[in-house]
Chains A and B, each alone.
Chain A
């Protein structure tokens, strides 16, 4: 093959299968779909907290003035790390809530949820990552799936809601 191979890039199927194996192993270990959802979210949070530094270093992103800019940054991050470009849609009238519409979710490429796991948030790692990354740049947000192709919806819709700005905290012992 003539294609130049970036040694740092991983084959997308390997990535998809790795994530799948992780989710199923979690399910085997925890034996509760609810716990798996929570676990995935927490893992996503921990990834997001780190990944945002990498994102800023690579894209030399600056601070955002408003949530629309934040939405653009999130979109760019999805492109950078997952190779997909979700569209931004469904802004709330107050401008504090929006959705990332994902046509093809690389995490779920081969996945079919068994009937026993119908309330599993298979891709719960994604909203966790959004939450973790935003928290590091002083935005408290909540994020969740409104629609999911795994549960038969036409698209996967990830909702992001702004809650409040976080201020720099003073370390203990300082005034």
Chain B
């Protein structure tokens, strides 16, 4: 078992740092390049959601990442204390976006669900959102 926690400012550009950290941490499980890219994309989407949606691009807020690897599996928890999602079921629909004016594709959660084995979204309006995602790396 191995674990790391990271507290990150809601700064544009930190999505790149977050996905690099998580993918580097997963290397001990010998993932394929494809599996690493899946994890990178999911982390990038979730952290971008925190910055752009939860905190509405306001800097100076915090995003918590917690990553745990065990038995060939990774569990990634990404949490914010932002605006929350009123209707999670609607938010995960492909192409649904609350910010069409910003050229948002509405594909963030769709890609997270495509690339991870299990995704849970727990959210409360004005309190924040917690995204828990898991992936198992295939053994050769």
Do these two chains interact? no
Q: Hey, which bits of chain A sit against chain B, CB under 8 A?
A: none
